[in-house]
Chain A
């Protein structure tokens, strides 16, 4: 399993509140269940347009899965790791070939090493016309 990136992300109360509000949720608690999308956004963007070589205009998010081990709270520093779990080609519904990339993203509490979340992300790139 190729490790693509490893980084740290500081969870800030203001960012949690903005994220909650953006989803119409009540701010002021633990991070919303999909909050770690904010923690990985920059890293994943860099990989998509960089080493993974995907064309933004033909690329869509296919699937996302979260496994929760412990709550993410303001003040925590996350340590994130992205791994390439698999790459395949699949025929799309409209007949064209698609590139299917599966990434695994794991987060630990940087201070304690405790696992927080494990994520799987499937990214699809349609073939060029």
Chain B
């Protein structure tokens, strides 16, 4: 399995965050209400961590096909802000007991890491056939 090429995601818009809030049911005002976000000490609304994680999962399905994830985990490192274009890169690939494990980094435009992730892919169907 070859390492996928890095890919740019976004720019993240406020409308994206509103749409994701509605679809996910996450109405935490930190993600859609600038007054609440500022009162909480943020410069602006920030994206849901799981919005960014969802974009990464979307790319995994585009790279490898749907239904192949055995595991997917993310660690949120820094907020993603409206206007951000994010760079998703796959840093490593190694065998795992149940498939192949990728390590992933999603970085903001200035290089700050927004999230790190791991995804374990099951072998694709032809390989798994007896």
Contact = CB atoms under 8 A, between A and B. Distances in A.
Interface of A: 15, 18-19, 21-25, 29-30, 32-34, 37-38, 41-42, 45, 56-58, 60-68, 71, 120
Given A38-B23, A41-B26, A66-B69, 9 more contacts: A22-B22, A22-B24, A34-B50, A34-B57, A41-B25, A57-B41, A61-B49, A61-B50, A66-B71
Interface string B68-97: 011111111000000000000000000000
21 contacts: A21-B19, A22-B16, A22-B19, A22-B22, A23-B55, A23-B58, A30-B66, A33-B69, A34-B54, A37-B24, A38-B23, A41-B25, A57-B30, A57-B39, A61-B48, A61-B50, A62-B75, A63-B76, A64-B50, A65-B73, A68-B72
Contacts, number: 102
Interface of B: 16, 19-20, 22-30, 36, 39-41, 48-51, 53-55, 57-58, 60-61, 66-67, 69-76
Contact of A19 (B16, B24, B49, B61): B24
A32 B58 contact: yes
A34 B53 contact: yes
Chain B contact surface mostly: helix
B73 A64 contact: yes
Contacts of B53: 34, 64
A18 B25 CA distance: 11
A35 B128 CA distance: 26
Contacts of B72: 33-34, 65-66, 68
Given A33-B57, A64-B50, A66-B72, A41 B39 contact: no
A32 B28 contact: no
Contacts of B51: 22-23
